[in-house]
């Protein structure tokens, strides 16, 4: 064997090896513990959460507007109904004035006025009352228009009387003691294309009426009133009185009882 080559043999203690490993492990554990401690000492980063977007309640925002609109609608409907009632009432009150046009009116609100002046609403013995059914050809708000229609009827050989009462001018073309008599006159005039309207009529007379005139008026029999009797009455009451004027304008042929209208009108 060569003397120059040296062989070194070292002996290690197994216990020392284990101790060294333990030291290394202990240092690693200490380092890990120290790192964990640093992590604990670091301030935690706050976590922010985005707020949830709430859905806009569009319907809730429109509720006041809807309520206001409905209230306005109900109020307007109520006012419209009230105005309509007022318009209808005014139309009824002014209907007679609107009848004075080129078309002959044949109806009027005279029935209500007649009922208010009926004998039942008056004291007993206060007035002398005469009742009849008259045939009306028109009602006008002015006398001029009434006389214009009267002249048209005269041109057709139809006698008529303009009777003013409560600011209205009525054009009458006949009368009868009963409704049947008045209806017959109306039908005869209708055959001549003259439209008429039959209604009850009451005449209340405050002045004293001569007996002969009273009897014929009450019985609706002025057709039997003789010429001599009329002359006697005219002399008795005076020729300048309204009754004498009516008697002087006597219709010789009076199929529609216009004489009754003239005499009754003169006494009212």
Instruction: Choose the weakest-confidence range: 96-100, 136-140, 165-169.
Output: 96-100
182-199 residue pLDDT tens: 999 999 999 999 999 999
- Over range 88-109, report the average pLDDT: 44
188-235 residue pLDDT tens: 999 999 999 999 999 998 878 888 888 888 989 888 888 888 889 988
Every domain of the chain and the residues it spans = 110-267
53-62 residue pLDDT tens: 555 555 556 6
CATH of 110-267, picked from 3.40.190.10, 3.40.720.10, 3.30.70.1070, 3.20.20.70, is 3.30.70.1070
Q: What is the rounded CA–CA span in Å between residue 28 and residue 26?
A: 5
Q: How confident is the model at residue 51 (pLDDT cuts 50, 70, 90)?
A: low
HSE-CB of 79 using CA atoms within 13 angstroms: 6
Which among 239, 196, 246 has a CA at the least distance from the CA of 217? Answer: 246
Q: How far lies 104's CA from each of 41, 157, 162, 170, 264, in Å?
A: 114, 17, 14, 11, 24
pLDDT at 44 over 60: no
pLDDT recorded at residue 93: 44
Does pTM surpass 0.85? no
Percentage of the chain surpassing pLDDT 90?
A: 32
126-165 residue pLDDT tens: 578 899 999 999 999 999 999 999 999 999 999 999 999 9
pLDDT recorded at residue 206: 81
Q: How confident is the model at residue 27 (pLDDT cuts 50, 70, 90)?
A: low
- Over range 33-47, report the average pLDDT: 56
- Over range 76-97, report the average pLDDT: 58
Please say whether the beta carbons of 167 and 108 come within 8 A. no
pLDDT at 124 over 90: no
Please say whether the beta carbons of 257 and 222 come within 8 A. yes
- Over range 240-245, report the average pLDDT: 90
Which among 95, 261, 259 has a CA at the least distance from the CA of 172? Answer: 261
Please say whether the beta carbons of 243 and 233 come within 8 A. yes
Residues ≥6 apart with Cβ < 8 Å to 265: 161, 163, 203, 246
pLDDT at 74 over 90: no
């Amino acid at each position: 064997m060569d003397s120059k080559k040296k062989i070194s043999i070292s002996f290690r203690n197994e216990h020392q090896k284990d101790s060294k490993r333990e030291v290394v492990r202990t240092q690693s554990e200490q380092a890990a513990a120290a790192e964990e401690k640093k992590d604990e000492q670091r301030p935690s980063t706050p976590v922010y959460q985005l707020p949830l977007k709430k859905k806009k309640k569009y319907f809730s925002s429109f509720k006041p507007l809807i309520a206001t609109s409905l209230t306005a609608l109900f109020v307007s409907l109520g006012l419209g109904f009230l105005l309509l009632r007022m318009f209808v009432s005014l139309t009824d009150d002014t209907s007679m004035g609107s009848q004075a046009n080129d078309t002959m009116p044949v109806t009027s609100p005279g029935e209500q006025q007649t009922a208010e002046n009926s004998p039942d609403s008056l004291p007993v013995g206060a007035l002398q009352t005469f009742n009849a059914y008259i045939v009306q050809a028109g009602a006008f708000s002015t006398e001029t228009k009434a006389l214009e229609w009267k002249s048209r009827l005269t041109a057709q050989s139809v006698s008529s009387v303009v009777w003013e009462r409560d600011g209205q001018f009525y054009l009458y073309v006949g009368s009868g003691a009963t409704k049947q008599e008045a209806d017959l006159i109306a039908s005869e005039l209708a055959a001549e294309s003259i439209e008429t309207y039959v209604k009850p009529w009451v005449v209340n007379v405050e002045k004293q009426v001569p007996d002969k005139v009273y009897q014929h008026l009450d019985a609706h029999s002025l057709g039997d009133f003789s010429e001599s009797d009329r002359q006697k009455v005219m002399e008795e009451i005076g020729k300048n009185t309204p009754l004498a004027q009516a008697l002087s304008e006597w219709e010789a042929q009076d199929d529609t009882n216009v004489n009754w209208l003239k005499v009754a009108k003169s006494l009212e």
